Amino acid sequence: ALERSSYIRLLQERVRTRVEEGLWSRPSVPAHPGVKELINGLRMKVESRKRRYSPTDLGRMSITRLPPCMKQILGMAQAGENLPHHARFALVAFLNGIGMSPDDIFRIFTTAPDFKEDIVRYQIDHITGTTSATSYSMPNCETMKSGGICFNPDSLCEKEWLNNPLYYYRIKGKKKHS
């Protein structure tokens, strides 16, 4: 049985996917004006959130600012370990989120034992939105935990308000400059 929060998150993701796929933009029957207003309001909220969470250039990547999960996954990649799919996805989304270029992200995966240039390039370009209409967001901490890729959480990770590895990276950057 799913926990309530996991069920809500899955439902949110399904709605987001359907909205982004545009399935609601072409209804087969005329929609009631109130429904159209609701859909337009939801679209504006989605666009606002996309802008809020779009990739941000946070300067050159700082290893000391990386959350423990990303340090571990990056270390595994650099050591030539075969990363599980969800770890690859999280790493690409994270690095894209801190402003790393797709080419720089690509170089990280060249040491993977199952490296195939065309597949890696396709996956990175798809996740970063280079070749698709969607740039995927970094999975939140709950998703990282459920995927078994939350490694060695530190005291900052344990803060109730910290819910995303990208936020961890941003917070570490602010503390450095404060």
Spans of all domains in the chain: 4-52, 63-177
Average pLDDT over residues 84-100: 94
Asked if residues 86 and 157 have their Cβ atoms less than 8 Å apart, the reply is: no
What is the Cα–Cα distance from 172 to 160, expressed in whole angstroms? 16
What is the Cα–Cα distance from 120 to 112, expressed in whole angstroms? 10
The pTM of the full predicted model, rounded to 2 decimals, is 0.66
Give 31's contacts (C-beta < 8 A, 6+ positions apart). 39
What is the Cα–Cα distance from 58 to 26, expressed in whole angstroms? 38
- Both structure tokens of 87: 């770890």
What is the Cα–Cα distance from 96 to 110, expressed in whole angstroms? 17
User: Which band of pLDDT confidence, cut at 50, 70 and 90, is reported for residue 139?
Assistant: very high
Asked if residues 128 and 101 have their Cβ atoms less than 8 Å apart, the reply is: no
Instruction: Write down the pLDDT at residue 137.
Output: 92
pLDDT at residue 91 greater than cutoff 70: yes
Instruction: Write down the pLDDT at residue 49.
Output: 57
Give residue-wise pLDDT tens across range 20-69. Answer: 666 545 555 666 778 778 888 887 876 665 554 444 444 467 888 999 99
